[in-house]
Amino acid sequence: MEDVKKTGGISVQTEHIFPIIKKWLYSEKEIFLREIVSNACDAVTKLKRLVSLGQVHGIENDYRIDVIYSKKDQTLTVKDNGIGMTEEELDKYLCNIALSGALDFIQKYEGEGEDGGKNGIIGHFGLGFYSAFMVSDTVDVITRSYTGAPAVKWVCGEDGSYELSPDSREERGTSVVMHINESESDFVTEEKVREILQKYCSFIPVEIYFSTDEKAGEEPVNEVSPLWQKNSSDCTKEEYDEFYKKQFSDFKEPLFSIHLNADYPLNFKGILYFPKINTEYESLEGQIKLYYNQVFVSDNIKEIIPDYLLMLKGVLDCPELPLNVSRSYLQNNSYVTKVSQHIVKKIADKLNSLFNTEREYFEKIWNDIRIFVEYGSLRDRKFYDRVKNSVLFPTAEGGHISLGEYKEKHKELCEGKVYYANDKNAQAQYTELFRSQGIEVLLLDKVLDTQFISLIEQDDESVKFYRVDSGLDDSLKAEGEAKLSDKLKDCFKSVSGDEKLEVKAEMLKDESLPAVVNVSEESRRFGDMMKMYGGGESSLPVERTLILNMSCPTVEKLNALCENGRDVSLEAKQIYRLALLLGGGLDPASTKEFIDDSMKIMDKALSGND
């Protein structure tokens, strides 16, 4: 070439560095376009900044980025009308790897403008520009600075060798022309380019037009001011819902949203959504999309937010995050910790405000958010501390009650005891026993409930949870002494076939009930935990107590007859089985026996009438 002004090689031993960039710099090849488009966006943002600082005049507000895919030429061009580069700048920023121009610009204009001159410049992704070589064998940069300095053309090969020459370009700005490597021509297609733009560039703050050989782009492919950048007071519920549906391809409306807007020093924005989960079996996996100054970065950000928040959906825009550093660094990063603490606080605030001001709606959606709150509380004690007063419990009657309300309601009756059922049907009779005395029974039948109530008990020593079949509250007992003969006691022990069974007598207010079987809360809960963690049965037997109700006339009669030497084992066995039935049922063999014995008793009664 005749007018070649200068030739050279990218410094820092590029023969070694280029293959590294190509192979390992980014695990995902597709991000090359994000890098080139965000450089174009930076170039526009910088020029806008200079205009707003009054450093430049006479620039029209027609900023745009064009992405042009030519199948026939096998090129992909990203063109902007931003700040452009002089020959010196090009030499400085593109011929020296690791010299970020973004950093230079920020330092130069630091402290100027209302946001310290820093906000909005993307830069910092790493060796951004060179990622173009992941798909190109040659990259041309044709650029003309806003200063009016002569345009230059820079052509760089994949081995890092380049040529710099004057160019006739008259418009301000830069075009980056990527000559697609033959081996990448299947990867870089019109569809793929569209897809990448949609994924990474949907919210970039400068309008992007996409054109092909056949068709020039007429509408921008992006939204320059996404909802999360607005003030929450300027957004409507419809806008939040619509944004959610579009971003997360969900036809269901979210339960509610939280608009995040953290000031300095955290300086991040976002919107979080509680999705509606249809069934207990539906995947609880949410999706949080992370942005960096409106450029999509990733939706796989386990290191950045607590795992229980990953059940949510939403967007976070964190311009402060050092995204080019390793993920293991992020795990111990104090900024990251503060961001997640802030998010947790905002979520708790929202839940508390729903509890306090929109109780009816809160109860309606509680079933959907309950698992999140319980799991979050178990994972993060601070979260529990923030939300504990707003945690609701479903009641067996179908309502909801908070722990504070339960304690207040039963102040005199239960003294910190909280009664619950975990099988609505099987424990219905016990539940009724409590309800008949004005004691509310919670329905705790979800997987996490056992662990969750342990957490509550640890947190508040004045509270203890008892399953309805674990004991009889004093308020269920009537006056008077329950007298049980030793003979009847032994009789029950022997007919039960359970050597460890304890037999006790009580006087209950409810006279219709002959007996109940109680299961020790502690040994049963231990067994439940073993099942959950170990997958097996606990080796300790569950301690059970048969409580005979001496205020029931039939039991009283049985006691007297037994005392007088009559064989009542058939009737005793029947009563024992009735107690088991009350507690949820009999096994198949006992059911058969129960029916046979019932027939015998009936025969006896009928023949007595002969």
In the three-class reduction of DSSP (H, G, I as helix; E, B as strand; rest coil), residue 312 is classed as: coil
Please, what is the Cα angle at 572 between 560 and 566, to 5 degrees?
A: 45
Closest CB to Mg ion among 128 and 160? 128
Comparing every residue's Cβ against Mg ion, the nearest one is 128
Question: Measured from the CB of residue 184, what is the shortest distance to Mg ion in angstroms?
Answer: 21
User: Is 128 near ligand ADP (CB under 6 A)?
Assistant: yes
> Which one of ligand ADP, Mg ion, none is in contact with 174 (Cβ closer than 5 to 8 A by kind)?
ligand ADP
Residue 251's DSSP bridge partners are: none
Q: Are 459 and 383 in contact (CB under 8 A)?
A: no
Question: Measured from the CB of residue 83, what is the shortest distance to ligand ADP in angstroms?
Answer: 5
Comparing every residue's Cβ against ligand ADP, the nearest one is 101
> Which one of ligand ADP, Mg ion, none is in contact with 87 (Cβ closer than 5 to 8 A by kind)?
none
User: Is 86 near ligand ADP (CB under 6 A)?
Assistant: no
> Which one of Mg ion, ligand ADP, none is in contact with 120 (Cβ closer than 5 to 8 A by kind)?
none
* x-or-dash string of contact with Mg ion, 338-367, rule CB under 5 A: ------------------------------
User: Is 547 near ligand ADP (CB under 6 A)?
Assistant: no
Residues 6+ apart with CB under 8 A from 579: 514, 515, 516, 517, 546
Closest CB to ligand ADP among 43 and 301? 43
Strands (E), 21-135: 65-70, 75-80
User: Is 82 near ligand ADP (CB under 6 A)?
Assistant: yes
Closest CB to ligand ADP among 169 and 338? 169
For the chain, report the end-to-end CA distance as a whole number of angstroms: 127
> Which one of ligand ADP, Mg ion, none is in contact with 413 (Cβ closer than 5 to 8 A by kind)?
none
Token pair recorded at residue 201: 């560039």
Select from 25, 67, 94, 206 the one that contacts ligand ADP (CB under 6 A): 94
How many Cα atoms sit within 13 Å of 379 on the Cβ side? 13
Question: Measured from the CB of residue 242, what is the shortest distance to ligand ADP in angstroms?
Answer: 33
User: Is 160 near Mg ion (CB under 5 A)?
Assistant: no
User: Is 136 near Mg ion (CB under 5 A)?
Assistant: no
Q: Are 192 and 33 in contact (CB under 8 A)?
A: no
User: Is 82 near Mg ion (CB under 5 A)?
Assistant: no
- Dihedrals phi, psi of 231, to nearest 5 degrees: -75, 140
Select from 81, 100, 549, 551 the one that contacts ligand ADP (CB under 6 A): 100
User: Is 131 near Mg ion (CB under 5 A)?
Assistant: no
User: Is 169 near ligand ADP (CB under 6 A)?
Assistant: no
Distance between CA 241 and CA 275 in Å, rounded? Answer: 11
Select from 82, 84, 128, 394 the one that contacts Mg ion (CB under 5 A): 128
Cα of 302 vs its chain's centroid, Å? 10
Residue 143's DSSP bridge partners are: 152, 174
Torsional class of 262: left (φ above 0), alpha (ψ -120 to 50), beta (otherwise) = beta
Select from 21, 47, 68, 102 the one that contacts ligand ADP (CB under 6 A): 102
Site for ligand ADP in 303-362 (CB under 6 A): none
* x-or-dash string of contact with Mg ion, 523-562, rule CB under 5 A: ----------------------------------------
CA distances (Å), 560 to each of 488, 564, 594, in order?
A: 9, 6, 24
Going by their DSSP bridges, the two strands 268-274 and 295-298 should be labelled as unpaired
Question: Measured from the CB of residue 131, what is the shortest distance to Mg ion in angstroms?
Answer: 9
In the three-class reduction of DSSP (H, G, I as helix; E, B as strand; rest coil), residue 569 is classed as: helix
**DSSP string spanning 502-529?**
EEEEE-BS-TT--EEEEE-HHHHHHHHH
Size of the site for Mg ion (CB under 5 A): 2
User: Is 125 near ligand ADP (CB under 6 A)?
Assistant: yes
> Which one of ligand ADP, Mg ion, none is in contact with 47 (Cβ closer than 5 to 8 A by kind)?
none
Closest CB to ligand ADP among 82 and 471? 82
Considering only the stretches 77-85, 123-131, 527-535, 551-559, report the one whose residues sit in contact with Mg ion under the rule CB under 5 A.
123-131
Contacts of range 415-420, beta carbons closer than 8 Å, 24 or more positions apart: 416/462, 416/463, 416/464, 417/464, 417/465, 417/466, 417/473, 418/442, 418/463, 418/464, 418/465, 418/466, 419/465, 419/466, 419/467, 419/468, 419/473, 420/393, 420/444, 420/453, 420/465, 420/466, 420/467, 420/468
Question: Measured from the CB of residue 103, what is the shortest distance to Mg ion in angstroms?
Answer: 10
How many Cα atoms sit within 13 Å of 70 on the Cβ side? 10
How many Cα atoms sit within 13 Å of 252 on the Cβ side? 10
Handedness of CA 567, 569, 571, 575 (dihedral sign): positive
Select from 14, 39, 143, 175 the one that contacts Mg ion (CB under 5 A): 39
Looking at residue 292, its amino acid is Y
Considering only the stretches 37-45, 56-64, 346-354, 502-510, report the one whose residues sit in contact with ligand ADP under the rule CB under 6 A.
37-45
Interacting residue ranges for ligand ADP, rule: CB under 6 A: 35, 39-40, 42-43, 80, 82-85, 93-94, 100-102, 123-125, 127-129, 174
Residues that bind Mg ion (CB under 5 A): 39, 128
